[in-house]
Amino acid sequence: MPKPELACLIINARTCHKRTNNSWILSRILRDFDVWRHPDCDRIEAEKLAELQAKEDLLAKEQKRAARTKRIALRVTVWDCKAASERGTGDLVYWAGLCVSAVQLIIAAIPWALWDERFIFLVTAIGTVLAYASGALPQWVEEKFGVRKTCLSNPKKDKKAVFLTEGNGSHEAILILSHHGSLDLEALAGPQRALKNPGATRIYSMLLAILWLALLISVAGYDQHTWFLLGVGLLGLVHNAAVCAFRRRPPAFGLELEYQQTIVEGSVMEVLHKVETKFPQAGAALLDEFFSGDLRPREELIWGFARQRYEDWYRDGCLMRSDGTPDAREMPSLQRLVGASDDADILSL
């Protein structure tokens, strides 16, 4: 498989372990996020941006200064991975290959129908079979999906959470919650695969290369009705270029993702604070990536509280809620943190 075309990271939201993504699949999912993201993402971002800009305009009017243009610093979208398998659903790109092959065969059959010239059709049919045989080698599936399954100690109450992001400076972070028994997305990002029979793939590839070479030699000296052969080749080139650039959705790669929520704010720290409030340890997992330098003393205190909160939550079997219910243990508010006079006030929040 080719190397990922988009450099990105996989960050475990529980252990905070970070690794460079080596999966072509995950790279494509992040690259095409603008196409498959939920409509609520844009709506929530627009509403938050309007709210922030209104506050900035009011503050600028009170201080008699020009209003600054506000922006969304970071958007975290949460998705529930309902299923992750080795088989994708057939989309436009999938079926387009069969349609293009059929059109190529029809073009190649025109000289056969008009002048009883079968060679072009024969060459096109053999080339089509070789192309599908090259793409059907079992090793390609192993390289894309040959990883372990997600294994959780408490599968009924817990989920494995991983972030998919381009890292510090990125506007996007996707939090994917995986169920017990689905593909381990963190392992999928690793560079190594346990291939069952790589020697057979080398032999098959050598045989296919010999057959392709024989087909090329047989075509080299042919000089009758070559425009039809060129038309077949040109259609294949255009199709390949279109497939490489086409945006695809996660089901095409075997991932069934269900939208949960979007978290946006005007500053990265506020976003991470909200993420930590709703998903213990998840905000801290992104903290080292987006704030690689030293934190302010008060930020150190609040994230120290977050670590202790997560340890208590994990020790209690992930039963503690953070949704405002009586048994919830909320994160201290950043707004109250700003108004605190000293560290003692912060610890009492």
Last residue of a domain, one of 245, 271, 304: 245
Residues 229 and 323 in one domain: no
Average pLDDT (107-120) is 93
The answer to whether position 288 is within a domain reads: no
Same-domain pairing of 140 and 222: yes
Domain's final residue, options 245, 266, 283: 245
305 in any annotated domain: yes
Asked if 139 and 207 sit in the same domain, the reply is: yes
Whether 32 maps to a domain, the answer reads no
- CB count, 10 Å around CB of 337? 18
pLDDT of residue 69: 87
Three-state SS at 309 = helix
Residue 178 lies in a domain: no
> Residue 342 pLDDT > 60, yes or no?
no
DSSP assignments along 98-162, one per residue: HHHHHHHHHHHHHHHHHH---HHHHHHHHHHHHHHHHHT-HHHHHHHH-SPBP--SSTTT--EEE
- Confidence label for 324 from pLDDT (cuts 50, 70 and 90): very low
347 located within any domain: yes
Residue 121 has pLDDT above 50, yes or no: yes
pLDDT on residue 341: 44
Same domain, 307 and 229: no
Residue 211 predicted with pLDDT over 90: yes
Predicted TM-score of the model (pTM): 0.85
Task: Give domain status of residue 38, yes or no.
Answer: no
pLDDT bucket at 68, cuts 50 / 70 / 90:
confident
Question: Domain span at residue 203?
Answer: 92-145+194-245
In a domain, 275, yes or no: no
Q: Is residue 29 part of a domain?
A: no
Number of domains in the chain: 2
